[in-house]
Amino acid sequence: MDTQIKSKERVAAHGEVFTAPREVNAMLDLVKSETERIDSRFLEPACGDGNFLIEILRRKLYVCGERVKARQYTQLQYEHDAIWAVSSIYGIELLADNVASCRERLLDYFTEQYKALFKSKCKDECIEAARYILSKNIIHGDALTYKRVDNPGSWIHVCEWSFIGGGKVSRRDYEFSFLIGQYSSDNLFADAPVETYPPVHFLKIKPAAYGEQQL
């Protein structure tokens, strides 16, 4: 998005002003090495439609893509690390249309880069794994109250995706208020999880793996 506001009404009601790409990149360059680390986690507590998150994903996937071009990565290795990159990006957003737009932007970019490298060899299950992770990591909520907006009264939960070897990923869900609120520690995921799931292969990450309905 090149414009910094969608409407004066939204600015007045929600203080919504988007950060321009130049400023986004200038700020991310201050932690450039972290933005290029596949496993480095980023949380944007007022993510809008994803101006910061799309640039972080772009940087991470660029690293993965360069490794393919240098023949350091097979397709499966790229898929593994590209999914890892997606899983490391988190956003919380108050407005429903921004949440939908952010998820769509990130998934579209992921899919575009994947197909540019592997064309007809792309796997639907890889794209669907990215879609599911984004449905969990981009949260419709209020970071100030720690509550979800799409499910009033419910606390925001944040998924920790841990890549544990052999292509397996474990998922543990944590209450956001404990991660960054008055009970927080130096380690983002140090507190006890509210839910723990059995490990699954990264290409099998989908609603059914966690007892949920299909998206």
Q: What is the 3-state secondary structure (H, E, C) of the chain?
A: CCCCCCCHHHHHHHCCCCCCHHHHHHHHHHHHHHHCCCCCCEEECCCCCCHHHHHHHHHHHHHHHHHHHCCCCCHHHHHHHHHHHHHCEEEEECCHHHHHHHHHHHHHHHHHHHHHHHHHHCCHHHHHHHHHHHHHHEEEEECCCCEECCCCCCECEEEEEEEEECCEEEEEEEEHHHHHCCCCCCCCCCCCCCEEEEEEEHHHCCHHHHCCCCC
Does residue 38 lie in a domain region? yes
Does residue 1 lie in a domain region? no
Does residue 3 lie in a domain region? no
Does residue 60 lie in a domain region? yes
| Domains identified in the chain, total number | 1
Does residue 108 lie in a domain region? yes
Does residue 104 lie in a domain region? yes
Does residue 140 lie in a domain region? yes
Can you give the pLDDT of all 215 residues of the chain as single tens digits? 446 556 555 444 445 445 678 888 898 999 999 999 999 999 999 999 999 999 999 999 999 999 999 999 999 999 999 999 999 999 999 999 999 999 999 999 999 999 999 999 999 999 999 999 999 999 999 999 999 999 999 999 999 999 999 999 999 999 998 877 655 455 556 568 999 999 999 999 999 999 998 76
Question: What's residue 179's pLDDT?
Answer: 78
Does residue 129 lie in a domain region? yes
Question: What's residue 186's pLDDT?
Answer: 52
Domain that holds residue 63: 8-210
Question: What's residue 16's pLDDT?
Answer: 47
